[in-house]
Structure formats: C-alpha cells, structure tokens
Structure 1
Amino acid sequence: MAAKNNLIKTADIQVTAREIDFVTRFERNWEHLREILGIMRPIKKQPGAILKSKYAEGSLADGNVGEGEEIPYSKFTVKEKEYAEMTIEKYAKAVSIESIKDHGYENAVQMTDDEFLFQLTTMVTGRFYDYLNTGTLTATETTFQMALAMAKGLVENKFKMMHRTATGVVGFVNILDVYEYIGAADITIQNQFGFQYIKDFMGFNTIFLLSEGEIQRGRIIATPVENIVLYYVDPNESDFVRAGLVYTVSGETNLIGFHTQGDYKHAVSEAFAIMGLTLFAEYIDAISVVDMTDDTTLGTLTVTSAAGTKTGDTKVTVSPGLETGHMYKYKVAAGSAPEVKFGQSVKTWTPWDGKSDITATTGQYITVVECDNTYKALKSGNDDVTAKS
C-alpha cells in the first residue's frame, strides 16, 4: 500500500533541519558579536529605508572681542548624509550530485554551507570596516600606545560635546601592530566565529584584531559602543513571501532567510539565502581614525593670496586640497610669517573653511596650517597678503 499523502519523509526532515541549523547558527553568531561589541538589539527597518550618517558642521566665530562689544555666536548644525538603502540581497549556491558521491554529504554540502555562512557574515562586517575607515575624527601619533589612547580620548570627548554618554569604546586595529607592540607579553586573544579580539585592553571594552585588507597597518579606529547599530530587514516581511518564496527563519529577530531544494533537472542540491543586514555607526564624526607615523617632517602647502571681493579682504587658495578629517587654521602677522613645526598645536589659531575671504592688510604675511582634530600641525604654507584696496 502506498504511503499516505503529505507524509513527512526522512528527506523532508533532513532538509528542514539543515535550513533551521543554518539560520540558527547565523543568528547565534550575530548575537555573540553583539554581545562582544556591547551593542543593543538590532533595529528592524523596511526595505527602501535610507540609512543616514550624522555629523556636526560649523566654525567658531572670531573670539577677539573688544571690551563691551557683543560676542558673536558660533553656529553649529547637525547634518545628515545618506549612507545606504536597506534592501534584500539574494545569494545562492549549488552542490552537484557527483560532488556528494565523490566527497560525501558532510564535505560536499555541510562544509560548503559553513563557508557560505562565513562569507555572508564577513561581507557585512567588511562593509562596516570600510565605513569605519571614513571616520572624520582624525589624529596623528608617533607610537602605538599614544595612538590607542588618543583614539579612545577623541571619541569620548566627542560624545561629551554631544551631551551623550559613552559607556564603553570599541577599537579596531591591525593584528600585526598588536603583536609587534605586545611582543612576548601574556595577554588573552579570544577567537570566536571568525573574529579575533581582546577584552578590557588599555581602557577599551573590546579591541578587534583585523587583517591588512580590513585596516591598514599603523591605523587605530575607535568609536563608542552606543554609536554602533545593527539594522535589518525581516525576510518574512519582504515581497518575496507575497510572491510565494518562503524561507526558513529563526529567532525573534529574523536576520536571514534560508531555503534548500533539490534541482532534479540538473541533479544538484541548491541553497538560497536572502538578507538585508547593515552594521552601522550613526555618527561618522564620532569615529576616530588615528594614524601612526615616524615621519615628523612638516608637509608643504602652496598658499596664494589675491585681492578679495570686499575692501580689506584677501582671497586665499591652497594646494594640495584638504585631506578628509583634517581642518585649516590660519594666522596673519606683520614682519614675517610665523614658524611652524610638525605636531605643533595651532588650537588658538583662527579656523578657516578653505573658501571664505579673509580680512588682512597688504604687506602682512598669512600662514595656513592643515591640522588634525587634535590641532596638531601636519602641513603648512604662507604668502605675502594681497588685499583689495
């Protein structure tokens, strides 16, 4: 007598178990990563939602105010910059029946599932690392220890200025820099789910050890724990379900959908994954990027002064252009241009946006400095002032 309709057979159980195992392991990995980072629960977004990074922009007004004169306001605004659109991404792999026959199920299917899961995870983290490298809170130091300290201090100070509390700071460094620094020191490096990290190291909650392709040597990146957010699109709420494409999901937060099936026409075992997952730092100017250098030679700027638009103003041009995360400061002096040394603090100099005319007198000297966020001089140049008469 033939088996009854809708009987759940061994093959069905194996396929379902494989799908559940895949999505469970994927979400477990992300759960552990969130615990390592210390970030909060993932935030669900709808497909098409635009993620925007935030940053503050503005400049200090001239602080040279005479006795009894009105003190001008310095204007700062928080702006948004579009980073990415939340979308559902689709992936697939297939294993031939010949591979299963030659290598066995565990090698042909299970090991490729493991690699599939690993590649999906590292794709998300890889995008995050690329984004972290664009942080605008920059500085330059000469030692690993000082670079670590400044990276942490910069983001904590930034959050204080934003009236936000940083309960912890996460760092990202090149693994070779860490080993070079610690030498034979006895520290515990943990390795879970493809992530290598150190807990409670030099004031950081966690320091992730990355490869050369993820962060360059001589660079330390840091950001407050509260600045990191995990956004996701629920695969079960996408239009794929409405179209009859049902994927196995797991847990309260459905970060990924997974489906397996046999393609009898080609005798292959197919696997399909869909997800919309973005690891994101909300405030790009609360990401510090500190580079180490043993070159303490002051860079050269070509500064040119020409008559400005209004009487008593000069139009200043500078080349090469300003590097990301750096800022301009200038000083006007009579007699001679002030001497500038590499690493010198120019905090008290006047800020300049790189385009506005500057009030000065013909015959004076104007010196422009490109500095990092700690006001350390990196490049400098000067010219005789030519103002509109």
Structure 2
Amino acid sequence: MPEQNLSTNLGKALSIDFVEQFGQRMKTLQELLGIQRTLPLSAGTLIKTYTSSVTLSGEEVAPGALIPLSEVKLEEGPSHELTWDKKRKAVAMEDVQKYGFESAVNLSDAKFLNEVQKGIRTKLLKQLATGTGKAEGAGLQQVMAKNWAAVTAAFDEDDVEIVSFINPFDAGEYLAQANVTVQTAFGMTYLEGFLNNRVVFMSADIPQGMVYTTAANNLVVAYADMTQGAIGQAFDFSKDSTGLIGVTHDINKQRLTAETITAYGVVLFAERLDGVIVGTIAPEA
C-alpha cells in the first residue's frame, strides 16, 4: 500500500513559488516606478528608442494667410532586441543530503532569482547612462534639483512624475542628516518622495558622482509572453499570470543533481533618451 500524503509534485510546487515570487517583485518595481506600459511582444522583436525635438514657427499669421509648419524631429536611438534569456543551475546530491531537498533547492533558488533580477536592472542602468540630457551641480541636492527641472521641461506635462537612480555612497552623507525610511525592492534600496522624486533607487552599479533621472511615463516593460504559443505545450514550464518568466525543476540522474531552469525575455527601458538626464555631482565649494 503506498504511503499516504506522499509529496510527488514538489518540483512543480517549487517552480510555481519561483514564478510567483518573481512576478510579485516585478509588479512591486513597476508600481514604485509608476510604469503604466507593459508590452507583450514576440521574441526577436526589435524595440526602438528615440530622441525628439520640436521647432515651433514664431511667425505671426495674418488673417486668411497660410499657417507655417512647425517642425517635429524624431531621431532613432539604440535598439533593443527582445531575446530569450535562458538560465540553469543545479544542486548536487551532497547538498540535498546536507540541507534536505526542499531547503537545498530553495536556498539556491533565492540566489538564482536575485541574479535574474540583477540582469534586468543592469540592462536598464546601462541604458540610462546613455541619456542625452545633461546637468551638473555642486552636491547631490543641487544635481537632483537640476535633473528634476530638466525632465519636467523635456516632457512638459502637468502630472509628470520623476524617478532617479543614484549611487549609495553619494546618498550616504545626505541620508545621515535626513529623517527618511529606506526600503528594498528588486535588489535595490529605494526612498519614496525624496527630493521631489516619486522614488529614488540606489545601486552600486551606478558610478559614484552620477545621477540618472527620467519621467515615470518614459519607462516601459517589454516581454516575451510565456503564456502564449507552443512553448507551454512543448516544455513543462510553470508560469505566473503575467507570463513574464517560465520555470521548471528537474532531476538529472546522470549527474545526481536537482536542477532549476528558467526562460524569460524581459527588457525594462526608457523610450526617449532625450528624456533621460544624466547629472554629474561636482565637488561642493
């Protein structure tokens, strides 16, 4: 007689837990940044960024006269191809024996999930560094004020919300004198409502002395939808409701390892590079 309550689908349960954690963390990041646009696309899609400029005609128009044209220029910036990111990690039999199957897989899955997050945010920060808007000021507060003004002018909207990314060492001295609450999301420390920003993220991946600032509505999430097409039929992926990532757990008997395999195509990017201001902190006098 088979043992009662035998766990036979633990790998599936672990996969579901992984995708739900990732989906929730991504949702939290989107809410913090105020991202309204998420684009489910096919893998291989070329995502284009651009810069824009408007030259208005300054002429007065006489009654009945032809209205002169104002010029709007859109210039293409660097493109991003939406490609699959495929990752695999394995837990050896010795670790399963030492920690237990579920604990061993969960411990390594937590680190694995952090690496997936890091890959997504690193691409965003690298793109923000190529922003075409520039500002400079003495000290963090002055630079962030100038960045705020430049972004507000670039989008010229009543309800523009500002988000910034800074190095934690640049924030350290200021935060030591400020009564603020620091929190963490998607592997980055952040502050809400800091220096007129909706949210300010701190990451050591940002060079010290640099501040990246843009509008919340300039940020877009594009992803290859794991819930569509034949992928779900061909592979035993667990997927959350967003379809951002697919995860499966498997046993490699030839190597005696418990493996986690993920596949995802996610790009978090700024659509307008002229709406990204790269501020430089000069030494204070």
With structure 1 as the length reference, what TM-score do the two structures score?
Answer: 0.65
In the alignment, structure 1 residue 16 sits paired with structure 2 residue 12:
yes
Asked if the contact 1:166–1:225 (Cα under 8 Å) also holds between the matched residues in 2, the reply is: no
Q: What's the CA shift for 1:267?
A: 1.4
Q: Which amino acid aligns with 2:74?
A: V
Q: How does 1:114-133 map to 2 (within 5 A)?
A: 114-133=110-129
Q: C-alpha deviations, 1:269-325, integer Å up to 9, x for none?
A: 1111000101011101100001022399xxxxxxxxxxxxxxxxxxxxxxxxxxxxx
Greater helix proportion? 2
Q: What's the CA shift for 1:9?
A: 5.4
- The 2-side partners of 1:42 and 1:76 are apart by 26
- The 2-side partners of 1:261 and 1:106 are apart by 13
Q: C-alpha deviations, 1:79-113, integer Å up to 9, x for none?
A: 22342111222111111112211233355211100
Q: How does 1:48-197 map to 2 (within 5 A)?
A: 48-56=44-52, 75-160=71-156, 164-197=157-190
Asked if the contact 2:11–2:250 (Cα under 8 Å) also holds between the matched residues in 1, the reply is: yes
Q: How does 1:1-389 map to 2 (within 5 A)?
A: 10-12=7-9, 14-40=10-36, 42-56=38-52, 75-160=71-156, 164-211=157-204, 214-238=205-229, 240-241=231-232, 244-251=234-241, 253-294=242-283
Instruction: Give secondary structure in 1 for the equivalent of 2:89.
Output: strand
Q: What's the CA shift for 1:189?
A: 1.1
Q: What's the CA shift for 1:51?
A: 0.7
Q: What's the CA shift for 1:47?
A: 1.4
Aligned length: 276
- The 1-side partners of 2:220 and 2:159 are apart by 14
Asked if the contact 1:166–1:226 (Cα under 8 Å) also holds between the matched residues in 2, the reply is: no
* Residues 74/155 of structure 1: CA separation in 2 closer, same or farther (3 Å cut): same
* Residues 81/41 of structure 1: CA separation in 2 closer, same or farther (3 Å cut): closer
- The 1-side partners of 2:266 and 2:257 are apart by 28
* Residues 2/289 of structure 1: CA separation in 2 closer, same or farther (3 Å cut): closer
Asked if the contact 2:213–2:278 (Cα under 8 Å) also holds between the matched residues in 1, the reply is: yes
Asked if the contact 1:88–1:235 (Cα under 8 Å) also holds between the matched residues in 2, the reply is: no
With structure 2 as the length reference, what TM-score do the two structures score?
Answer: 0.88
Q: What's the CA shift for 1:236?
A: 3.1
Q: Which has the higher contact order (CA 8 A, sep 6+)?
A: 2
- The 2-side partners of 1:25 and 1:138 are apart by 37
Q: What's the CA shift for 1:268?
A: 1.1
- The 1-side partners of 2:280 and 2:257 are apart by 49
The gaps in structure 1 that reach 5 residues or longer are 64-71, 297-389
- The 2-side partners of 1:83 and 1:40 are apart by 21
Q: C-alpha deviations, 1:240-264, integer Å up to 9, x for none?
A: 346x22311011x111000011122
Instruction: Give secondary structure in 2 for the equivalent of 1:236.
Output: coil
Q: Which amino acid aligns with 2:244?
A: L
The gaps in structure 2 that reach 5 residues or longer are 59-67
Q: What's the CA shift for 1:183?
A: 2.9
Q: What's the CA shift for 1:166?
A: 4.5
Asked if the contact 1:159–1:166 (Cα under 8 Å) also holds between the matched residues in 2, the reply is: no
Q: Which amino acid aligns with 2:113?
A: L
Instruction: Give secondary structure in 1 for the equivalent of 2:122.
Output: helix
Q: What's the CA shift for 1:181?
A: 2.3
* Residues 53/166 of structure 1: CA separation in 2 closer, same or farther (3 Å cut): farther
Q: Which amino acid aligns with 2:228?
A: E
Asked if the contact 1:171–1:208 (Cα under 8 Å) also holds between the matched residues in 2, the reply is: yes
- The 1-side partners of 2:37 and 2:71 are apart by 35
- The 2-side partners of 1:2 and 1:180 are apart by 64
Instruction: Give secondary structure in 2 for the equivalent of 1:201.
Output: coil
Instruction: Give secondary structure in 2 for the equivalent of 1:204.
Output: coil
Q: Which has the larger radius of gyration?
A: 1
- Most deviating of 219-228 and 185-194: 185-194
Q: What's the CA shift for 1:35?
A: 1.2
Question: Percent of aligned positions with the same letter in both sequences?
Answer: 28
